[in-house]
Amino acid sequence: MLPVAALAWAAAAVAIAVPQWALALSMGCFAGAALVLLAAIGARRALSPMVIVAVGFALGGAASGSAALALPSRDAVARLPIDGGRALVLDVTVVGKVEPSTAGWRFDAIANGIRIGEEQHRVNAPVVVRVPALAEGLDLGATATVTGTAFEAEAGERAVLVVRTHGAPVVSSPPQGPFAVASGLRHGLQTAVRGLPAPGAELIAGIAVGDTSAVTPELDAAMKSSALSHLTAVSGANCALVVGIAFGLAALLGAGRALRVTAGMAALAGFVVLVSPEPSVVRAAAMATIAMGGLLLGRVGAGVAVLCLAVVVLLVADPWLALSPGFALSAAATGSLLLLAGPLADGLGRWMPAPLALALAIPLAAQLACGPLLVLIAPTVPLYGVLANLIAGPAAPLGTVLGLLACLACGIPVLAQGLAVLAWAPAAWIAGTAAVAGALPGNAVPWMPGPLGAATLGLVGGGLALSLIGGGRRRHVRAVAVVMLAAVVGLLLALGPLSVLVERARTPQEWAIVACDVGQGDAVLLRSAGRVALVDTGPDPGLLRTCLDRFSVDRIDLLILTHFDLDHRGGTEAVRGRVETVLHGPVEAEDARVLDELATSGARLVAAHQGMTGELGRARWRVLWPRASTAYHGNDASVVVAVEGGGVPRVVLLGDLSAGPQAALSAALTVQYDVVKVAHHGSADQSGALYERIGARVALVTVGENTYGHPREEALEMLSAGRARIMRTDLSGAIAVWRESSRLRIWEDRRAGP
């Protein structure tokens, strides 16, 4: 089944990445299956391998055909005239959890109708909706009307459109039937945990029913950095626990095997509805069923075959899983438990008691299998991840069971609150473990990004696994492991410390402005006479640290937080204790913690207002926005600062301002600038008049991989019309600008083109 699953996975991935090829690919796969099968029948030899190939082609054709069948309805939506920020009204059905995002809330939905002006279009297509505020009754199963703008999602995404609304949705029908019951239970659990101490209270609903709405960004970051993020949401372990409890209770009541299995599957179905039957939950339920099946059958090979069969079935039903990192991680983790956990436990058992060896082997197998995939998402390795899982793992089942009981008992408030108090203890233990592990020095070890980093970590994991498994007479296994580890260590030395020296050697020392490469976010360095300012910190502390180290920045004299979206303040941990003054924009209640932490670490806090000025070395800075008299908030209240003199090219940084505030700012500008940091990562919501007034020769677009379509073609065309040289961090990496005599010099970390 392994080659069958591989062929089906590859076909599904190609079909959704290049949808115009999906139909031809499906037909080709079916034709290939027929030819291979005919050849196998004619040859009468090696029949089994050829039949396997034929089945693989056939199922690949089914998976790509599933994508092809969905293409007409998706294309009908994608062809609608939605560009240019045109206002849309969509009728949607919520099909995923309503979760917090960097700028409000988000949820997956099916669009049933789209109104553009006076034209009404009946559609049936998946969309992602981002809203700034919630509405009563907005939950899984609800129908609602949303008003906003939209853009086409990236190829390979399940959603056809990403919709950004201007206000809260209007709920036309709340959840009905089982979804209404599930919604009431989830909200009842949130009520039961209210008032319990953080951060344990934030985790209870996530551990029990996958509701992560109460998890703060700080706790989420700690869970991820300590490799415990799988505990903040529903995973295969939760599903297996629910099935096991139902199976055990049925056995205690004397039920036969068929009734026990039925009870387990019924409990699993109810649990899936409770936590929301979105793709990740259905996937977790399927993987849990497979893992249990393999263990019940007592045959690892059978378990792996069932895993491969389930992967194929899921890909045929939903080919968009082929490019889902979560799907790959689930399959890898389940396969590692079936194939690797047992041999690792045997190997570790030579040096420690068998129960401890098994407890350690399970998270180690999962981390060895999933590590290379995680490096593709974030190039860091949680050094203490296995230890953190070993410490926190035993608390997870207890927290799940108690939290789930509190959820089911929400109709009896006293009982629900009592059970929530009991669930708080294991949740607090997990949160405390994450906080301690995340704060340990060297916890998140930087790793090489991309496929090379994944392959290198895979070699390290393979060598480590072989060295632990091999023993006794299998000395050649250990020899192979030693050679693998030695090769990787040599490679890491070449690409690690030595590459750092090489990178620093090629980094310009004369820089005055640096746009750091921190992905989809802002982090811009300014320097004059040895004094350094940092405008925003990007979304990730690790990426910001890399930039600061690269440009030899140890101390930040002035940190300007333009506003408090995650992609502008998420990296503040990297500069905590290194900042003298923080200049910040308007503060909402949930933003205060960021400033409190900076103040506690020694920074002086200053609220920005229009007209404020100051010095940075021999340069002067001036705040151009926000006006104290206006009621702007969020992106439109971004601190806009201009800097000039002291060797710094005249530069203006526009935060995330939209076109309206940009037009208001334009009237107040009296000078032109050499460099502009383009607003909002190059979104389409720009004021041409402002950029014409600025007249910059260099336009810095701070952008990374994203689902918003940034930078938009409209913005790039506008900048090109003004004859600005457009520099993008997603193409050029870090970008440095400085003045040499009367000329502007530009350095790119990697060249974007010829």
Question: Beta strand pairing status for 119-131 and 170-173?
Answer: unpaired
pTM, to two decimals:
0.60
**Measured between alpha carbons, how far is 441 from 433 in angstroms, rounded to an integer?**
15
Query: What is the distance of C-alpha 667 from the center of its chain?
Result: 39
Report pLDDT for 652: 95
3-state helix, strand, coil in the chain (%, to 5): 55, 20, 30
pLDDT tens digit sequence for 684-695: 889 888 998 899
Question: Beta strand pairing status for 88-94 and 579-584?
Answer: unpaired
**Measured between alpha carbons, how far is 207 from 291 in angstroms, rounded to an integer?**
20
- Residue 435 near residue 428, CB atoms below 8 Å: no
Starting from the edge strand earliest in sequence, which strands make up the sheet with 613-616, in order? 613-616, 619-625, 640-645, 648-653, 675-677, 698-701, 725-728
Measured CA to CA in angstroms, residue 31 lies from 36, 58, 315, 665 at distances of 9, 8, 20, 62
**Measured between alpha carbons, how far is 86 from 83 in angstroms, rounded to an integer?**
6
Question: How many Cα atoms are found within 13 Å in the side-chain-facing hemisphere of 650?
Answer: 10
Structure tokens at 381: 């390795």
Contacts of 135 (CB under 8 A, 6+ apart): 144, 168, 169, 170, 171
Structure tokens at 311: 């992967």
CA-nearest of 81, 560, 158 to 319 is 158
Burial 733-747 (b: 16+ CB within 10 A, else e): bbbbbbbeeeebebb
Classify 411 as helix, strand or coil: coil
Strand partners, 165: 148
Report pLDDT for 506: 63
Classify 114 as helix, strand or coil: strand
Using 70 as the pLDDT threshold, list the residues of the chain that sit under it: 42-48, 84-85, 101-103, 233-237, 257, 278-280, 283-284, 287-303, 378-379, 441-446, 448-449, 470-506, 589-590, 629-632, 751-754
Report pLDDT for 727: 93
Classify 701 as helix, strand or coil: strand
**Measured between alpha carbons, how far is 518 from 497 in angstroms, rounded to an integer?**
21
N-term to C-term CA, the chain: 46
pLDDT tens digit sequence for 544-587: 988 888 888 889 999 999 998 888 998 998 898 889 999 998 88
Report pLDDT for 472: 47
- Residue 732 near residue 749, CB atoms below 8 Å: yes
Contacts of 434 (CB under 8 A, 6+ apart): 219, 222, 223, 225, 226, 228, 388, 392
**Measured between alpha carbons, how far is 235 from 232 in angstroms, rounded to an integer?**
9
Strand partners, 513: 526, 737
**Measured between alpha carbons, how far is 242 from 247 in angstroms, rounded to an integer?**
9
Report pLDDT for 515: 95
Residue 700: Cβ within 10 Å count: 28
